[in-house]
Structure 1
Amino acid sequence: MATATSASGSDRAERSAGGGDAGGGDAGGGAEGGASAGGAGAAAGAPHPSAARVVTLFEDRAEVVRAARVEVGAGAQWIAIGGVSVFVDERTVQARVAGAGAEGAVRVTAARVRWRAHREAALGREAIDALSREQREASRRAGAAERARDRASRREAHLDQLLATWSQAMSEVPKDAGEPARLASWRAGVEALHAALAEALGASADARGARAHAEDDARRAAARLREGSIEQPRYEAVVEVEVHAPAPQPVEIELTYRVACAIWRPEHLARLSVAPAGAAAAGAGGAGAQGAGGSVELTTWAAAWQATGEAWENVTARFSTARPSRSAEAPLLADDVLRARRRAEVDRRRVVVEARDQAIATAGLGRGARAVDEMPGVDDGGEPLIFEAAEPVTLPSDGRPTRIEIARRSLPAELALVLYPEAHPAAHLRATVTLDGGGGRPRPLLAGPVKVARGGSLIGRARLDFVGAGEPFELGFGVDDAVRVRRTVDEEQDTSAITGSRKIRRRVKLSLSNLSSDVKRVLVTERIPVSEVADVEIALGEAPGWALDAEDGFLRGRVELPPKGLKTMSFSYELRAAASVVLPF
């Protein structure tokens, strides 16, 4: 490879003003160019065509590797390469000479971007000529129709005159002079005149209609011709590369640059396949046994959009999670002001308690098996990821999404029917999956929308958060309509007459029913309040078949529902508050 050099117009001018390099650089000039040691400062002639080879899409831009085959002469010269978007970032342009034969022979010493605008008609010459021919043809048809209408009008006037003459002649004939043969002749004559007049009227109407259609066609063609002939400014960019060659030879110049108006986002498809054992236990509705096995096929696509104006045909597409627009900056520091005030006497005598729903934040799923001993940190596992399409792709510059498959893996899953009666009366099928690498190095799963399917049926859409390599995660695969629950809450309140303390007893009863002909094993999750105040105590009462997570207040129980069966689960808890406590209920 020849030595690559990149510079914008201003950088090249500053370096040239200092005397250039050993191989001969610019004698002067900035972005507008100047005389070089080997020839004119600006590339002459039409830009050389180029083709995109590799496109790497980032979050908000793309990096393009483009190549052009050119013939260079001896000495220094500027080569113009076209096909570049007007949104190119000049600071990122790099140029080099590719090919084994160019090693040490041809050198690239500078590269710059020139933007130019020229006026051109909205339509090409061929389209304008076609519209002109169409307009002339429509005008010719309108003229022919007008002449036909004129002939029909003259014949119509002539026939009207003949009928008037016939009527005048008939009025002069005596009433008793008519003979049958002569009357028949007169009747035939007038009928012939009426038929000819009707024909002339029809021909005149047809001619008027043909003329109207031809005039409409001529007006439309003239309007399209006027619109197509309007000249509008067209902007284009070319990359000019300064090349030094010892002798005339063909070379391949490779450009690397970044361009805006191109983005990509990941999206997934999760397809659940139930194992035979799980299918036998579940029936047609899904996994009915707690811990039943199955597999989830995860397919990841890169949805790419580009409106750069470039032609990306049969390119090697890469998709990176790096963010070149983000620079490392220290956060802005601000004062965190704390204020203290003396408690009022009324505040000392009472404690106001508020109730709230708290989302439990956990680092990871909290269950399932990890595939790695230690999770990667920022330093050893936070490198940007690059995904590459398996085959060349074409990304049209129309601003519409193009989906390219970048990953596919099949992972074992643990299936369970889960029920949250306080939130929803139906059971959901949940799959717990560990993001394993399948013998290789596991790669994380990017956050994005996911379509969930069970077998050949699409269940719905969901949102998948970022999943680290080797971490367990869960996916929902729809509702099992066969399992239903009815939840009732009974509450009793008691206030002590002497101390003023309050007791609130609540009893929750769940009635679970199985409408199918298969056994259903369901994991039921309920909750009780958790006190953060010493003056409020919460105690779990009778809870047969429930396991309590005292830290978060979750109750979990497993129940087996027989076919067409019904079971009942219940638990109770008691809330005790001192007299000085003001409860929200």
Structure 2
Amino acid sequence: MRLRVSALVCVSSIALSSAWAKETIVEAASAVEGVVVHPDAATVTRRATIDLPAGASTIVLANLPAGLDADSLRVFGEADGRVTIGAVETRFAPADARAPDTAIEIKLKQLRRARESLQATLDALAGKQAMIVRYSQAGPEKLGPEARPLAIGEWNAAFETIGAALAKTGEELRTARARAKDLDDEIHALEAGGGERKMQRPAREVAIAVESASGGKLRLTLTYLVAGASWRPAYDARLDTGGKDGKPQIELTRRAAVTQNTGEDWSDVALSVSTTRAHRGASAPDVQPQRVGFYEPPVLYAEKLAAPVAAAPERQLRRADARASAPAPVPLEQQTATLESNAYQASFNIAGRVGVPGDGSSKSFILSSRRIEPTLAAHIAPAQDPTAFLEARIVNDEDAPLLPGPVAVQRDGVHVGQSRIAFVAPGEAVELGFGADDKIKVTRAPVKRVENEPSWFGQTKYETRDFKTTIRNLHDFVVPVTVVDRTPFSENTAITVETLPQTTAPTTKQVADKRGVMAWSFDAKPGETKELRLAYRVKWPAERDIVTQPAPIAQR
């Protein structure tokens, strides 16, 4: 008869009950069976099989990672007979009893003691040399005792004494330094040979109090959250424009770069990556009231913010180019993961049993690859760059969101740059840029700039700006075009901004809730030239000066 036992463990350090005082200690080996990697942690599943004696026992599972979150620990399993689980304790593993030193370790200790003793000699000789040099620089007229100048006849003897002392001390210092170098070389050689045992990495162990009526096999499963693991998304976007008559297609490949430095062995495990953040929090933040008052200058100067450190570049998985021995080469197939999702979360199960190195290096897996038919258009921001960029609009048709990450962009087999994607929910659209379109010529030129000079105090000052943007389609097919430009805006009633009548009416008066940013959308026919005008006037009191600054960027 096989009975199932389970326990939910929510306490990290619970003292074992006195009822289990005379229990048998059973040390059991466990192995990692499966891992779900989150963007900021990992959920690990371990399994152990124990030959359980009858009566009370304490099962000790050692070599668990130090970063284990004890509050997340859960224990359950099944047994061949009736088994009751009592208290569960997590604790840092005690240090192992140190084995006798090896011959190499004994030699290293002797060499290090000799090197420390020699360093004291080096410091004494260097100090003696410096003192002699300082004494010699005082001048022979002040070398006598009680500040009495030396007689000229005694100078030569003083010179000889100082020279001999410097020579003797210098030779002793040279010999000691040579001996120190020999000791350093010998120590480094022994250390490089691996003769010295490495320090033991901190670890935890779990003690589980159980009582079995008749003994037998007990199969335990542990799950817990562990820090020191994460995964980062990365994407490949390959656009096939399809030419004049073909249909464009984008092959979007989603990758996961998994890293872990937990101290565990993740070899031959069932691996999944989840879009759920384990440490983001379970509830929305508590909104606190705010009080407004007059600004008081601080007494102390604020510390300068540290400059942002450039993020390290993502490692890319280099795929080997293999050729089949058959006369007709067969393209390689990419192994992708299986998506499991519901209304609130999604995870990708990596095919087969895999391993992730525990040294913090990155290992990349392909999660999904699919072809999408995009909508192509030319996107132009002439105030920043008079260049037309090819833009593709796609819809995320998967049940998993696209997490923020870098995108390697190719157009018709040519790498055109690196982009970045923001968070894209399932069913949401996203625009990806695919480089400059050199067959759409763009020019932007100022038509007029007028500034008045007030002649008396209190007069209003104004500035008028007028621009013309010209777009010419040199393709032999119709190209949808979107031009985005801007006028300044004011939040001060004393400063007014007005758009002038010669401005071409925009298709979108405010783009993405950005004040002053507008857009013109149209289909450019082959060989067609389109002109757009943008003119505005700014007015403000003449006794004041104005400045144009970037507006704060809205958080997404």
Same fold (TM over 0.5): yes
Residue 576 to residue 584, structure 1, CA distance change in 2 (3 Å): closer
User: What pairs up with 1:84-483 in 2 under 5 angstroms?
Assistant: 84-98=64-78, 102=80, 105-114=82-91, 115-118=93-96, 223=190, 228-229=195-196, 232=199, 235-274=202-241, 276=242, 279-280=243-244, 294-320=248-274, 321-324=276-279, 326=281, 328=283, 331=286, 333=288, 335-338=290-293, 383-437=344-398, 442-483=399-440
Residue 519 to residue 5, structure 1, CA distance change in 2 (3 Å): closer
**Contact 2:345/2:400 (CA < 8 Å) preserved in 1?**
no
Matches of 1:535 and 1:487, distance apart in 2: 27
Aligned pair 1:2/2:16, yes or no? Answer: no
Task: Give the C-alpha shift of residue 311 in structure 1.
Answer: 0.8
Residue 314 to residue 543, structure 1, CA distance change in 2 (3 Å): same
- Letter of the 1:558 partner, please give it: F
Paired residue for 1:62? 42
Matches of 1:514 and 1:468, distance apart in 2: 34
Bigger Cα displacement from structure 2, 575-584 vs 49-58 = 575-584
Bigger Cα displacement from structure 2, 448-457 vs 309-318 = 448-457
Matches of 1:122 and 1:384, distance apart in 2: 53
Residue 404 to residue 420, structure 1, CA distance change in 2 (3 Å): same
Matches of 1:303 and 1:237, distance apart in 2: 27
1:227-273 deviation per Cα after TM superposition (whole angstroms, max 9, x unaligned)? 61468556443333233223342232212222222222222222323
Residue 463 to residue 424, structure 1, CA distance change in 2 (3 Å): same
> Percent identity, aligned pairs only?
27
Paired residue for 1:509? 468
1:396-444 deviation per Cα after TM superposition (whole angstroms, max 9, x unaligned)? 111111222334443331110111111112111111122234xxxx332
SS across alignment from 2:374: strand
Matches of 2:376 and 2:189, distance apart in 1: 69
Matches of 2:10 and 2:544, distance apart in 1: 72
Matches of 1:472 and 1:231, distance apart in 2: 52
Aligned pair 1:527/2:486, yes or no? Answer: yes
Question: Structure 1: which 5+ runs fail to align?
Answer: 18-25, 28-34, 132-214, 283-292, 341-380
* Greater helix content: 1
**Contact 2:462/2:540 (CA < 8 Å) preserved in 1?**
no
Matches of 1:568 and 1:512, distance apart in 2: 5
Paired residue for 2:501? 541
**Contact 1:78/1:243 (CA < 8 Å) preserved in 2?**
yes
- Letter of the 2:248 partner, please give it: G
Residue 322 to residue 503, structure 1, CA distance change in 2 (3 Å): closer
Task: Give the C-alpha shift of residue 51 in structure 1.
Answer: 1.6
Give the CA RMSD over aligned residues.
4.3
Q: Which of 442, 448, 451 is the equivalent residue of 1:485?
A: 442
Task: Give the C-alpha shift of residue 322 in structure 1.
Answer: 3.3
Matches of 1:58 and 1:544, distance apart in 2: 50
Residue 508 to residue 241, structure 1, CA distance change in 2 (3 Å): same
- Letter of the 2:442 partner, please give it: V
Q: Which of 81, 85, 104 is the equivalent residue of 2:61?
A: 81
Paired residue for 2:537? 575
Paired residue for 2:304? none
**Contact 2:33/2:47 (CA < 8 Å) preserved in 1?**
yes
Matches of 1:96 and 1:539, distance apart in 2: 70
Residue 395 to residue 488, structure 1, CA distance change in 2 (3 Å): same
Task: Give the C-alpha shift of residue 122 in structure 1.
Answer: 12
Bigger Cα displacement from structure 2, 495-504 vs 72-81 = 495-504
How many residues are treated as equivalent by the alignment?
Answer: 414
Task: Give the C-alpha shift of residue 500 in structure 1.
Answer: 5.8
- Letter of the 2:95 partner, please give it: A
Residue 233 to residue 414, structure 1, CA distance change in 2 (3 Å): closer
Task: Give the C-alpha shift of residue 5 in structure 1.
Answer: 5.0
- Letter of the 1:6 partner, please give it: V
Which structure has the bigger radius of gyration?
1
- Letter of the 1:480 partner, please give it: D
Residue 49 to residue 457, structure 1, CA distance change in 2 (3 Å): farther
1:325-372 deviation per Cα after TM superposition (whole angstroms, max 9, x unaligned)? 6354753735421459xxxxxxxxxxxxxxxxxxxxxxxxxxxxxxxx
Matches of 2:45 and 2:355, distance apart in 1: 15
Residue 81 to residue 419, structure 1, CA distance change in 2 (3 Å): same
**Contact 1:117/1:234 (CA < 8 Å) preserved in 2?**
no
1:539-567 deviation per Cα after TM superposition (whole angstroms, max 9, x unaligned)? 433356864627745241536374xx684
Normalised to the residue count of structure 2, the TM-score between the two structures is 0.62
1:502-552 deviation per Cα after TM superposition (whole angstroms, max 9, x unaligned)? 665443233445677777554333334456648736243335686462774
Residue 570 to residue 231, structure 1, CA distance change in 2 (3 Å): closer
Matches of 1:9 and 1:527, distance apart in 2: 58
Matches of 2:58 and 2:8, distance apart in 1: 14
**Contact 1:118/1:235 (CA < 8 Å) preserved in 2?**
no
- Letter of the 1:556 partner, please give it: W
Paired residue for 2:176? none
Bigger Cα displacement from structure 2, 464-473 vs 514-523 = 514-523
Bigger Cα displacement from structure 2, 252-261 vs 74-83 = 74-83
SS across alignment from 1:264: strand
Matches of 2:517 and 2:203, distance apart in 1: 65
**Contact 1:96/1:108 (CA < 8 Å) preserved in 2?**
no
Task: Give the C-alpha shift of residue 480 in structure 1.
Answer: 1.8
Paired residue for 1:49? 29
Matches of 1:492 and 1:271, distance apart in 2: 44
1:299-334 deviation per Cα after TM superposition (whole angstroms, max 9, x unaligned)? 322222111111112222233313346354753735
**Contact 1:307/1:397 (CA < 8 Å) preserved in 2?**
yes
Matches of 2:508 and 2:73, distance apart in 1: 62
SS across alignment from 1:117: coil
- Letter of the 2:509 partner, please give it: D
**Contact 1:5/1:108 (CA < 8 Å) preserved in 2?**
no
Task: Give the C-alpha shift of residue 575 in structure 1.
Answer: 2.2
**Contact 1:432/1:475 (CA < 8 Å) preserved in 2?**
yes
Paired residue for 2:141? none
Residue 513 to residue 316, structure 1, CA distance change in 2 (3 Å): same
